Structure 1
Amino acid sequence: MSRTPRRLLCLTAAVAALAPAWAQVPTPDTVLALPRDLSPWGMFLNADIVVKLVMVGLLFASVVSWTIWLAKSVELVAARARMRRAIRALADARSLTDVSAAQADGAAALVAAAETELSLSADAPAADGIKERVASRLERLEAAAARRMIRGTGILASIGATAPFVGLFGTVWGIMNSFIGISKAHTTNLAVVAPGIAEALLATALGLVAAIPAVVMYNLLSRWTAGYRAQHADASAAVLRLVSRDLDRDAMPNAARRAAAE
């Protein structure tokens, strides 16, 4: 056998051996058919409509959480600062009439409630009954202030509890669609499967992004609200002490009152 036919046989064998490898190389049409943009925005655009709705809902929930956080933080910080000034003014006063409206800014409602009850009970014979009625008014005002401060924070708790499950629903739906696409394409090529799975997992990531800050915000606001309630209780106690002091002074005989003044 001459050398030329032998070389042709060797070249033919090499081509036959490399043919399977060439068959697995993706064609330009196949590469163009695959989604190239795997950024968060690109994955959102390529996602299923249900997964898109889940992502939009989670983003909206995150915006709501931050809005509530900013609004309640400003409200609580301002209320606590006013209450601290009011507590100092009540502690320095000798009588309920010594506390001006400006000084009792944070506790103005408490002072007004005490003065209203004293006016209504001016002809009451027993001071103990007056103190009980004043304490009852102050207790109701404290409860109302606490309800006002926690208003809206329940939404944070709901978002923190449900957002991960909503994101998980979007992930499950997206993975189901990926498996359906695999069955239709009759291929298990990772380049075809990976984009759909990544889009599905993006929903879970958004769920965690919405839930984790909401839980942290809710816990912080709960602690701040508890601190404000303690301040409100201190102010109520200070007002009640002033009321008790004024009632005891009114009950003193004139001679003893002059002696005490001297």
Structure 2
Amino acid sequence: MEAATDFTMWALFARATITVKIVMILLIAASVWCWAVIVDKIVQYRKARAEADIFDRQFWSGEPLDALFDQIGAEPQGPSEKIFAAGMLEWRRSHRQDGGLIAGATARIDRSMDVAIAKEAARLQKGLPVLATVGSTAPFVGLFGTVWGIMNAFIEIAEAQNTNLAVVAPGIAEALLATGLGLLAAIPAVIFYNKLSADSDHIIAGYEAFADEFATILSRQLDS
């Protein structure tokens, strides 16, 4: 009696051709990379939201803005603090030695905070293109591995001149494993790319709303 064919994942990988093995390794590496990005972004966004909540309470606590700025110091840590510090720093630089304000202070303050927001947005969105790329390309990479594996399986069948299912099944299973790995990498990448992009947009919108409120407060002081 012939020994039963081993259809475990490792056995399918071991029997695959070198091209299909390379495809599988690339897909596994892409999947691991995606999960590393996903975990990093989830932790980063959670910290950003917590920092924004803490700073928001400090900002609206009624403490003088100059005192809050002095408390934060020259090297703010959190994103909200950096945006606030950018505005306050430009506010102080816009004062002349006689106490008057240099013309165009409001526009410069807005630009300073916009630059700070852009830097934080770039930091929040770093890594998301990896998820988008893997989500869009992994299925096709897996399909390439499947097509290549099936082609070689048919070549082996033709050489053996045997269409018995026991001969056909292992080669087909090895080839389909590549498509499975491609989907395994792509599906979480697409799902989390959409979720994390929405989370990032929400956080950035919060920064922009704060910058607008802060600019309104400073503008009110300028008018007074």
Task: Compute the TM-score of the two structures, normalised by the length of structure 1.
Answer: 0.77
The residue aligned with 2:205 is 230
- 5+ residue gaps, structure 1: 1-27, 250-262
Aligned equivalents of 2:88, 2:34: Cα separation in 1: 40
Structure 1, 161-170 or 119-128: larger mean CA deviation: 119-128
The one-letter code matched in structure 2 to 1:120 is R
Question: Are residues 88 and 54 of structure 1, via their aligned partners in 2, closer, same or farther at CA, if it must alter by over 3 Å?
Answer: same
The one-letter code matched in structure 2 to 1:92 is S
User: Cα offset for 1:72?
Assistant: 1.2
Aligned equivalents of 2:29, 2:221: Cα separation in 1: 55
User: Cα offset for 1:106?
Assistant: 4.4
Q: Please say which structure displays the higher CA radius of gyration.
A: 1
CA offset digits 1:189-211 (Å, max 9, x no partner): 11111110011001100100000
Alpha-carbon contact 2:94-2:101 (below 8 Å) kept: no
The one-letter code matched in structure 1 to 2:26 is G
Matched, 1:217 2:192: yes
The residue aligned with 1:198 is 173
SS at match of 2:5: coil
User: Cα offset for 1:128?
Assistant: 6.8
Aligned equivalents of 2:60, 2:47: Cα separation in 1: 20
Structure 1, 45-54 or 88-97: larger mean CA deviation: 88-97
Alpha-carbon contact 2:140-2:182 (below 8 Å) kept: yes
Structure 1, 81-90 or 212-221: larger mean CA deviation: 81-90
**What is the correspondence of 1:242-257 to structure 2 with a 5 Å cutoff?**
242-249=217-224
Identity of aligned residues (%): 41
SS at match of 1:92: coil
The one-letter code matched in structure 1 to 2:72 is A
2:12 to 43, 63, 86: 43
- 5+ residue gaps, structure 2: none
The residue aligned with 2:93 is 120
**What is the correspondence of 1:11-22 to structure 2 with a 5 Å cutoff?**
none
Q: CA RMSD in A?
A: 2.2
CA offset digits 1:161-182 (Å, max 9, x no partner): 1100010011001100111011
Aligned equivalents of 1:147, 1:161: Cα separation in 2: 22
Alpha-carbon contact 1:87-1:238 (below 8 Å) kept: no
Aligned equivalents of 2:45, 2:128: Cα separation in 1: 12
1:140 to 115, 121, 129: 115
Aligned equivalents of 2:159, 2:121: Cα separation in 1: 59
User: Cα offset for 1:116?
Assistant: 1.9
- Matched positions, count: 218
The residue aligned with 1:161 is 136
The one-letter code matched in structure 1 to 2:44 is E
User: Cα offset for 1:131?
Assistant: 1.3
**What is the correspondence of 1:54-93 to structure 2 with a 5 Å cutoff?**
54-93=23-62
Aligned equivalents of 2:213, 2:10: Cα separation in 1: 57
2:126 to 151, 154, 178: 151
1:178 to 153, 156, 159: 153
